[in-house]
């Protein structure tokens, strides 16, 4: 008999009160304005400008295309250094912008790109570093900025996991030349699908406006349809208003997991609340010690108890032939990818269920 009678998902989107969505929809219907920079989108962008403390925010159809847009509109050429340990979208965006990804290893405590590895890979072909803040943990922003300044190259952050996070007293978007936030349904704040782009140079705005709207106006090198609709913006605004509640729930849940897991040997917490970090992460990954056994077998045992987990992120992207890069040694990314597993983690996860999940994990490891 599985421990849970029905499947516990690894994540579940925040579903705001349907009556708030219905009221917003009536407003959208009354105006008859469904997309192309409508009033819902403008209001959502204003809310995000307040959160990110800057007027330079744009909303796009998803996070992946937002990364592609910024790489394209910054008119980069040649190579972009990206971490080997990340979601495939990071490297696909580089390819889709006509650039070549060069994979760097990560640092083992934050799982973000190792500045020393970045430095070693920089050449005169490098035009940007695309670093990824991981699972709510910030990159080594000061070291990366120094490299970017010394080399005169761009520093862009994939901050897909970071909405609501502040670091060293500033919104995480304040670091680098630009930061992309995913608003996918699995994120702490979502718009069903969506992406937000925060950038330092206001001159990017007309280029981005052209890029997302088929290149019309001619300000961008390329164009596609990457506009956010009024319906998505509506959901995004309503979910964003719940951020304090969502964050409080996630922090409580993290404390429950932390406490329960402290009694299990061989399982390490991944999330490090490094100095100066504020805000809730939407992920709860763990790392298995090598002597604990196979991560994949533990995942299978949990699946038999109806507990959904994920091997986020495995394999390292430099092992994916689609990116066509020469094999570069990334031993830390390789090691972490083989031992990491994300537990179910979402604002509305029942606290008692979290305790049962840890019990099942303990049993899976013991057997």
Ligand X SMILES: Cc1ncc(COP(=O)(O)O)c(C=O)c1O
- Sites of contact with ligand X (CB under 6 A): 62-64, 86-87, 89-90, 132, 158, 160-161, 182, 184, 195
Give the Cα separation of 99 and 102 in Å (integer).
10
Q: Which of 338, 340, 330 is nearest to 107 (CA)?
A: 330
Strands (E), 222-300: 267-269, 277-278, 285-288
Question: How much is the CA Rg of the chain, to the nearest whole Å?
Answer: 21
Q: Nearest residue to ligand X, using CB?
A: 63
For ligand X, the closer of residues 74 and 358 by Cβ is 74
For ligand X, the closer of residues 188 and 301 by Cβ is 188
Q: How far is the CB of 178 from ligand X (least distance, A)?
A: 14
For ligand X, the closer of residues 193 and 230 by Cβ is 193
For ligand X, the closer of residues 171 and 195 by Cβ is 195
For ligand X, the closer of residues 40 and 90 by Cβ is 90
For ligand X, the closer of residues 64 and 113 by Cβ is 64
Q: How far is the CB of 60 from ligand X (least distance, A)?
A: 9
Q: How far is the CB of 292 from ligand X (least distance, A)?
A: 26
Q: How far is the CB of 113 from ligand X (least distance, A)?
A: 12
Q: What are phi and psi of 70, to 5 degrees?
A: -70, -35
Q: How far is the CB of 86 from ligand X (least distance, A)?
A: 5
Q: How far is the CB of 341 from ligand X (least distance, A)?
A: 16
Q: What are phi and psi of 172, to 5 degrees?
A: -60, -25
Answer for the pair 360, 305: CB distance below 8 angstroms, yes or no. Answer: yes
Give the Cα separation of 344 and 186 in Å (integer).
11
Give the Cα separation of 273 and 85 in Å (integer).
20
Count of CB atoms situated within 10 Å of the CB of 365: 18
What is the CA angle 135-136-138, rounded to 5? Answer: 110
């Amino acid at each position: 008999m599985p421990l849970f009678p029905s499947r516990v998902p690894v994540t579940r989107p925040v579903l705001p009160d349907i009556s708030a969505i219905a009221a917003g929809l009536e407003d959208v219907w009354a105006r008859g304005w469904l997309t192309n920079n409508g009033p819902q989108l403008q209001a959502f962008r204003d809310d995000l400008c307040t959160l990110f403390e800057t007027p330079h925010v744009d909303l796009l159809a998803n996070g992946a295309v937002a990364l592609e847009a910024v790489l394209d509109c910054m008119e980069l050429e040649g190579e972009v250094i990206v971490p080997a340990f990340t979601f495939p979208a990071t490297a696909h965006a580089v390819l889709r912008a006509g650039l070549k990804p060069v994979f760097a290893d990560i640092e083992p405590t934050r799982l973000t790109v190792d500045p020393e590895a970045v430095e070693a890979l920089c050449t005169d072909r490098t035009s940007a570093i695309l670093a990824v803040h991981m699972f709510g943990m910030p990159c080594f922003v000061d070291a990366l900025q120094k490299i970017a300044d010394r080399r005169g190259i761009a520093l862009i952050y994939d901050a897909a996991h970071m909405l609501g996070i502040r670091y060293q007293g500033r919104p995480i978007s304040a670091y680098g030349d630009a930061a992309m936030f995913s608003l996918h349904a699995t994120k702490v704040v979502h718009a069903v699908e969506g992406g937000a782009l925060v950038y330092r140079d206001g001159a990017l705005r007309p280029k981005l406006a052209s890029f997302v709207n088929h290149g019309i106006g001619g300000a961008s090198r390329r164009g596609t349809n990457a506009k956010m609709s009024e319906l998505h913006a509506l959901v995004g605004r309503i979910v964003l208003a719940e951020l304090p509640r969502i964050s409080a729930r996630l922090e409580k849940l993290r404390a429950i997991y932390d406490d329960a897991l402290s009694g299990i040997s061989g399982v390490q917490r991944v999330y490090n609340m490094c100095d100066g970090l504020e805000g809730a992460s939407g992920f709860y990954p763990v790392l298995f010690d090598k002597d604990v056994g196979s991560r994949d077998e533990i995942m299978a045992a949990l699946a038999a108890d109806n507990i959904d987990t994920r091997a986020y992120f495995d394999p390292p992207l430099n092992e994916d032939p689609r990116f066509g890069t020469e094999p570069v040694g990334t031993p830390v990314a390789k090691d972490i990818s083989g031992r990491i597993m994300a537990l179910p983690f979402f604002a509305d996860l029942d606290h008692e269920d979290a305790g049962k999940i840890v019990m099942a994990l303990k049993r899976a490891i013991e057997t």
